[in-house]
């Protein structure tokens, strides 16, 4: 049952991520089409958008019938991060009005892949941000005043990453607790009837599909009612 829940969760993440990819692409196209917006190399930016669109189409079509997995989200997130970096490079680098697109990558990483992966994403985006500033301003960006200002600009991004990962971790703890309460018996800690029925249905389906047999072992405690009547239900629970 836990695997089924995780599979449905991954499907939901994948659908949401697909929508995010297309919305991000549309946003960049709108920016490109607005008169007066700065684009350093329009041909290159169009090329980046086309490559990203082709990647999304091919990757999602090729994996349409495959089971969802974390590695797919991992790959798509890093491609999305690279796409954002390229867009910023051609729209003003570290001073681009689209610089907050970083936050979309970080938030989705925190929600789907957790703290450690988000830390690597934040580090990669920070290095790219500093490199873009260096390419624009030159070595003077490494002076104490300029570099401090650069770190101040990056601080909200780091703060968002930290808060999002903390909230995501809290939500995951709550989800695990809910799963445990929904699938286990409070007294024994064993799977309850709902979880047992789902597992049994899965085994029956597997047995039918592969023409195999499976075994089901049942235990019974004789005289449980007598124990409850004579010593009380607490004693009966202890016996179980």
> What average pLDDT is seen over the chain?
83
Give per-residue burial for 181-217: e unless 16+ CB within 10 Å, then b: eebeeeeeeeeeeebeeeeeeeeeeeeeeeeeeeeee
> For the residues 115-130, what does the mean pLDDT come to?
89
pLDDT the model gives residue 65: 56
64: Cα within 13 Å, side-chain hemisphere = 5
Question: Any residues with CB less than 8 A from the CB of 3 and at least 6 apart, and which?
Answer: none
> For the residues 138-148, what does the mean pLDDT come to?
84
pLDDT the model gives residue 42: 92
pLDDT the model gives residue 64: 58
Total Cβ atoms within 10 A of residue 87: 25
Using the predicted structure, report yes or no on whether residue 193 has a pLDDT greater than 70: yes
Using the predicted structure, report yes or no on whether residue 81 has a pLDDT greater than 90: yes
Q: Which of 104, 112, 114, 113 is nearest to 80 (CA)?
A: 104
pLDDT the model gives residue 48: 95
Using the predicted structure, report yes or no on whether residue 54 has a pLDDT greater than 90: yes
pLDDT the model gives residue 11: 79
pLDDT the model gives residue 39: 92
pLDDT the model gives residue 233: 76
pLDDT digits (tens, 9 = 90+) for 162-173: 888 888 777 777
pLDDT the model gives residue 209: 84
Name the more confident of 187 and 71. Answer: 71
> For the residues 67-95, what does the mean pLDDT come to?
89
């Amino acid at each position: 049952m836990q695997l089924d829940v995780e599979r449905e969760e991954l499907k939901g993440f994948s659908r949401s991520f697909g929508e995010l990819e297309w919305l991000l692409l549309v946003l960049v196209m709108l920016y490109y089409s607005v008169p007066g917006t700065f684009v350093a190399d329009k041909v290159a930016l169009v090329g980046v958008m086309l490559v990203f669109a082709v990647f999304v189409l091919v990757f999602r079509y090729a994996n349409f019938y495959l089971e969802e997995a974390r590695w797919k989200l991992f790959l798509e997130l890093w491609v999305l991060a690279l796409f954002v970096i390229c867009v910023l490079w051609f729209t003003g680098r570290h001073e681009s009005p689209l610089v907050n697109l970083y936050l979309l990558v970080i938030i989705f990483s925190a929600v789907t892949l957790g703290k450690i992966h988000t830390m690597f994403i934040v580090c990669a985006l920070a290095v790219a941000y500093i490199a873009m500033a260096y390419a624009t301003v030159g070595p003077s960006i490494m002076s104490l005043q300029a570099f401090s200002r650069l770190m101040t600009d990056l601080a909200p991004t780091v703060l968002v990453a930290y808060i999002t990962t903390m909230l995501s971790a809290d939500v995951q703890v709550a989800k695990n607790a809910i799963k445990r309460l929904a699938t286990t018996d409070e007294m024994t800690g064993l799977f309850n009837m709902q979880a047992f029925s789902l597992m049994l249905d899965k085994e029956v389906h597997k047995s039918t599909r592969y023409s195999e047999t499976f075994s089901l072992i049942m235990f019974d405690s004789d005289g449980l009612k007598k124990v409850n009547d004579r010593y009380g239900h607490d004693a009966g629970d202890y016996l179980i």
